[in-house]
Amino acid sequence: MTVTEFLEMLRSEPSVASCIQHCVQIPARKARTLPIPDSLAEPVRKAIERQGIEQLYSHQRRAWDLASEGRDVVVVTGTASGKTLCYNLPVLDRLVREQGARALYLFPTKALAQDQLGKLHAMLHSTGVRAATYDGDTPKEQRSTIRSNAGIILTNPDMLHIGILPNYQVWLKFLRGLRFVVLDEMHVYRGIFGSHVANILRRLFRLCVSLGVPSPQVVACSATIGNPGELAEALLGRECEVIAEDGSPTGPKSFVIWNPQVIGSSGERRSPNLDAARLIAYLVEHGIRSIGFARARVTTELLLRYARSHLAEDAPKLVGMLESYRGGYTAEERRDIERRLFGGELLGVVATNALELGIDVGGLDAAVINGYPGSVSSVWQQAGRAGRGTEPSAVFFVAHNDPLEQHLVREPSALLDARHEQANINPGNRYVLEHQLRCAVFERPMDESEVAMFGPNAKAVLNGLVENGSLEYRAGRYFCPDLHTPAADVDIRSASGAVYEIVDADTYRRLGTVEENRAFQVAHEGATYLHRGEQYLIESLDIETRTAMAKRTELSYYTEARTETVIDFLVKVAERKMPQGVAAFGSVRVTQVVTGYSMRALLTEHFLGFEPLDLPERSYETLAVWLTLRPPGDDEKERIQFGMGLHALEHTLATALPVLVGCDPGDTGSTWTMGHHSSGLPTVILFDDVPGGVGICETGFRRLPQWLDLALRVVEGCPCWDGCPACLLTPWCGNRNADLDKRAGIALLESLQLSRSGASYNPSR
C-alpha cells in the first residue's frame, strides 16, 4: 500500500477520520544545480562522479567556494539536502593535496558517525584517504592504528572530551596535521550539552595553537534554526559564513495534525500514546516503512509495548518487525538494531530523538511524531526522516491533551508556518566552566594569556577553583594537581556531570544510565523502568554509589514523580515595571524535593493512586523571571479568586515559554505563591531547570510582551469556560490542577498586556 492510499483509507473510516484535524499538502521542490568546480582535485572528482553526481546543488557549490577561501562555514538546509557533500568535498580535496593533513568529524551520536562512515567509504577508494570511527565502542587493539593512519576520524563530543583531549600526547601526529573540524547536526548543541561542547572545542583549539599549528578550519551543518550564525559563533568563539538557501529537491509530503478523540465531559482525550502506537502498528501492518518519535525514553518503551500489542492481535508475524531505539542501550543492542534498520529488515522503529538526526534509515515512507518535541526545528527534523528522495511521504503529528499542543491544533500556522526558534547556549555557565576549566588545565597548564579564550567568567571561576584546592596557581599559570583526568567524572550532557546506573538485580547487567538531576524522579524506589519493551521495578536507590537496582517484573501500571519547589532570589539583573507590579530577571536558588509518585494504568493511563517518598533535597542556582504582583484586597472571596488566577497565570506562562523560545518543556520549571517569603507579595516564577541556566528565561524576559501575548492567546483560544486539559490543566502541576480559575487568569494576563514600557533589559547591569 502506498502512503497516498493509506491516507485515503484513514479518511474513509469515520471514527478515525474525526481525529484528522488538519492535513496540509507540502508541494515538491525542484533542484537548483551548479557545475562541479574545475579546481576540485581529480581523485575527488572521480570519486563523486562514480556515485553518479554530475552537478552540485547550489548550497553545496557555495559551501565549496567559501571553504576554498579558508572561511569557516555553517550550512543550514533541510533534511536530506546533501549537507554531507558540503564538508566532504573541501576536506578530501585538502587531504589529497597535503600529505599528513587530518580532519576530525564530530557527530552528536555514535549511530550517526557509523552511518556517515559508510557513506564516506564510498568516496575514498580513489583518494587514498583512510577514515575510521573512534568512540567508546572502538576495540582497544585498533585505536593506535586509527590514531596513526586515519586521515579522517569520526567521533562524538563525548569521546573528544573524555578520550582524546586528556590523552593528547598520543594524538600529537593527528593534532599537528588537523586542518578541518566538521561539526554536524549543530542545532543539537543547545542548552547544557551545547555549553559543554563550546568549551570542549576551545580546549581543542587551545591545544592546536600550543603545538604551533593554526586553529583548524570549521565546516558546520545544521537543521534550520533562527540563529545559526549566532550559535556557531557561541560554539566556536569566532564568526562563520551562513549558507541558508537550499538547492535540493524534495518530494510531496502530507502533514497530518492528529488530535485524539474526547472521551468524556471533562475534556479529557484518549491517550496520545495509544493513538500513536495504533498508527505505528497500522502503518507496519500495511507494509509502510515508518518511524515513530517519542519525547522520552519511557514513552518510547510504552509505544513499542502498545504497538506490538496491536500487531500481536492483528498481524502476529510482524511483531518482530518493530523495534525501539534510544539512549541507554548497550553498544551491541544499538548496532544490532541499526544493522536491521539500515538493511531494511525492520518495517518500523520507535525512537527518541536519537534517530531524529541525519542517519539514512533506508527510505522511510512515514513518520509519527508523538507530541511536540520541544521546538519547531525538531518537528521538521523528525518529519524529514520520512520521504527521502522525491517519492510522496506522510507525517502524523499526534497532539497531546495539554495547553501547548492543543494551541498548536487550534493554530496550526504556529507549527506549519512558524519561523524557526533560536538555539540557546551559555558557555560561561559557572557549573560548566568549573568542570571544563579543570579538564583544560589538566591537559596542559594554563597561562594567563589563554584564559580569555574561555570567556569573561573564566578568570573568576579559575580563581575559585584555586581557592577550593581544585587547582594551583604558580608564576602566572594554573596547574591541576590531579593524577587522573577530571574529564572521567564529567557528563557533558548534564550540568552536574554525574550519572546514576540502573542495574538488573538478577543478572547485575547495566540496563541504562540517568543524569543525576533526574535520578530522584525516574529511579526512586517504587519507580517503573522500561527497557526494550520489558518492565522493571526499582527496588532500591543507593545515593552514595549512584546505583538503582531494578527487578524484572510485569505490572499493570507505570509511575510519574511529583516535585515541590522553593525559590530564593539572589541577584536581580533587570526589571520591567507593570501596572500590576514588576517583572524581574536575575539569578535564583532553586530547592526541589521529590515528594512522591503517582501510578497510571498501562493502556488506559488512568490515575491509580499516589505514594509518598522521603528523598533528600536538590539545590542549585539558575536564572529566572519572576512577576511580583500587587496583592488583592482583604475580602476573602476576592483573595481566593486572585490566588486561583495567579495559579492559572503560572500555567499559561509555563506553557507559552517553550513555544516562544524553542526549548523542551522539561528545560524549564515554574511555581507560584500568594506571598513569597522575601516580599510577602503574590509572585509567579519561571526558571531554567538547569544549574547555572542556559538563557531560556533571559530570552523570555527580553521578549516579555510577546510572551504575555502568546500566553493569552493559548488560554483564550480554547472554547471551554472553566479550564480544561486543552488550555490550562497540565500533568506537571504540583497541586494536581486544583484551585485554578481560567477567567481570573485571563483577567490577570489582560491587565499585564497593558505594559509595553518600563526599564529596558540590560544584561551588563
Q: pLDDT grade, residue 552 (50/70/90)?
A: very high
| DSSP H or E stretch at residue 567 | strand 557-578
Q: Say if residues 28 and 248 touch (Cβ distance below 8 Å).
A: no
Average pLDDT over residues 733-753: 86
H helix or E strand, kind and range, residue 147: helix 140-149
What is the rounded CA–CA span in Å between residue 520 and residue 614? 10
Backbone CA torsion sign across 285, 289, 294, 296 = positive
- Answer yes or no: is pLDDT of 698 > 80: yes
Query: If DSSP codes are grouped into helix, strand and coil, which group holds residue 187?
Result: helix
Nearest CA to 87 out of 185, 184, 201 is that of: 184
Which is more confident, 235 or 765? 235
| 3-state DSSP percent of the chain in helix, strand and coil, to 5 | 40, 25, 35
Which burial class, exposed, middle or buried, applies to 13 when counting CB atoms under 10 A from its CB (0-12, 13-18, 19+)?
exposed
Q: 601-643: per-residue pLDDT in tens?
A: 887 778 899 999 999 998 989 999 999 999 998 888 999 999 9
Residue 140, CB half-sphere, CA atoms under 13 Å: how many?
0
* C-alpha cell of residue 612: 509518598
Three-state secondary structure of 499-538? EEEEEECCCCCEEEEEEHHHHHHHCCCCCEEEECCEEEEE
Instruction: State the pLDDT at residue 336.
Output: 83
Cβ contacts of residue 141 below 8 Å, gap of 6+?
A: none
Residues 362-394: tens digit of each pLDDT? 578 999 999 988 778 888 888 888 886 788 999
**Residue 757 clears pLDDT 60, i.e. is over it:** no
Q: Other C-beta atoms within 10 Å of 525: how many? A: 16
Separation of alpha carbons 283 and 124, rounded Å: 38
pLDDT at 760 over 50: no
Q: Are 335 and 270 in contact (CB under 8 A)?
A: no
Q: Using an 8 Å Cβ cutoff, are 264 and 117 in contact?
A: no
**Helical H runs in 363-510?**
376-383, 403-410, 413-416, 430-443, 458-467
Q: Are 625 and 702 in contact (CB under 8 A)?
A: no
pLDDT digits (tens, 9 = 90+) for 89-148: 999 999 999 999 999 999 998 878 887 888 888 888 788 899 999 998 899 999 999 999
On average, the pLDDT of the chain sits at 89
Looking at the DSSP bridge assignments, the partners of residue 153 are: 104, 132
3-state class (DSSP) for residue 675: coil
Neighbours of 382 (CB within 10 A): 26
Mean pLDDT value across residues 521-529:
92
pLDDT at 226 (0 to 100): 82
Number of Cβ within a 10 Å radius of residue 252? 17
How far apart, in whole angstroms, are the C-alpha atoms of residue 162 and residue 497?
12
Name the nearest CA neighbour of 322 among 343, 349, 301: 349
SS3 21: strand
Residue 341 clears pLDDT 50, i.e. is over it: yes
Give the CB-side neighbour count of residue 263, counting CA atoms within 13 A: 11
Q: Which residues pair with 368 in a beta bridge?
A: 292, 396
- The model's confidence at residue 754, banded by pLDDT at 50, 70 and 90, is very low
Does residue 232 sit in helix, strand or coil?
helix
Angle of CA points 722, 725, 726, to nearest 5° = 90
Please indicate, yes or no, whether the overall pTM of this predicted structure exceeds 0.85. Answer: no
Q: Would the pLDDT of 587 be above 60? A: yes
Whether the predicted pLDDT of 427 surpasses 60: yes
Which amino acid belongs to residue 508?
Y
H-type helices in 625-753, by residue range?
A: 636-661, 696-702, 704-716, 742-752
Amino acid 762: pLDDT? 35
